[in-house]
């Protein structure tokens, strides 16, 4: 959504940022010369949000909105119905604009929601299983490990030790 390039063609390849992102040179210089990390983040967010506002594909954005509003408890058929396009068309739009399928994107978003939830002090695995649509606790633990590389308890301990 941040680039005009076909992300399906760029998947697992290395390209210079200025070949993919139009106008990044100015933002890149500002990020490098920023006085601290929060200023760098602000500049990067400003650049990316401007790119996101220029995005033309409302069906992709609407399907992502549906997934997030339902805590990723949705499937590709529901997303395509919500956008009034066929499942295959939505999958092509995702491949072209994001580089992954709607299912993969929903899984990534669900992992991010899980990571946010597990950082709270009142974290309960059972609540997350129900809220995020996992089948059971082992499904949640396996999904977390798939994206995070370590188990959930280790991830939480690592975060709190760094904090």
For 101-126, how does the pLDDT look when each residue is reduced to its tens digit (9 = 90+)?
Answer: 999 999 999 999 999 999 888 889 99
Q: How confident is the model at residue 83 (pLDDT cuts 50, 70, 90)?
A: very high
% pLDDT > 90, the chain: 48
Residue 84 DSSP symbol = T
pLDDT (average), residues 49-53 = 76
Q: 70-79 — which CB contacts under 8 Å span 24+ positions?
A: 71/110, 71/113, 71/131, 71/132, 71/133, 72/106, 72/107, 72/109, 72/110, 72/113, 72/132, 72/133, 73/132, 73/133, 74/106, 75/103, 75/106, 76/101, 76/102, 76/103
Mean pLDDT of the chain: 87
Q: Where are the alpha helices (DSSP H) in the chain?
A: 7-10, 17-20, 24-33, 37-53, 58-69, 76-83, 87-97, 102-118, 125-132, 137-148, 152-162
What local confidence, expressed as pLDDT, does residue 55 receive?
Answer: 61
What local confidence, expressed as pLDDT, does residue 62 receive?
Answer: 92
What local confidence, expressed as pLDDT, does residue 1 receive?
Answer: 63
What local confidence, expressed as pLDDT, does residue 88 receive?
Answer: 95
pLDDT (average), residues 21-42 = 86
4 pLDDT higher than 70: no
Report yes or no on whether pTM surpasses 0.85: no
């Amino acid at each position: 959504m941040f680039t005009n390039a076909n992300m399906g063609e760029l998947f697992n390849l290395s390209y210079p940022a200025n070949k993919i992102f139009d106008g990044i040179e100015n933002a890149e210089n500002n990020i490098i010369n920023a006085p601290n990390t929060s200023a760098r983040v602000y500049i990067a967010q400003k650049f990316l949000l401007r790119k996101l506002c220029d995005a033309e594909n409302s069906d992709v954005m609407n399907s992502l909105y549906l997934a997030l509003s339902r805590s990723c408890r949705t499937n590709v058929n529901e997303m395509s119905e919500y956008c009034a396009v066929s499942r295959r068309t939505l999958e092509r739009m995702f491949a072209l604009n994001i580089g992954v399928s709607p299912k993969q994107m929903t899984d990534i978003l669900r992992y991010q929601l899980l990571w946010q939830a597990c950082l709270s002090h009142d974290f309960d695995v059972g609540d997350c299983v129900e809220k995020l649509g996992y089948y059971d606790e082992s499904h949640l633990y396996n999904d977390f490990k798939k994206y995070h590389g370590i188990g959930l308890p280790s991830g939480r301990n690592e975060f709190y030790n760094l904090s």
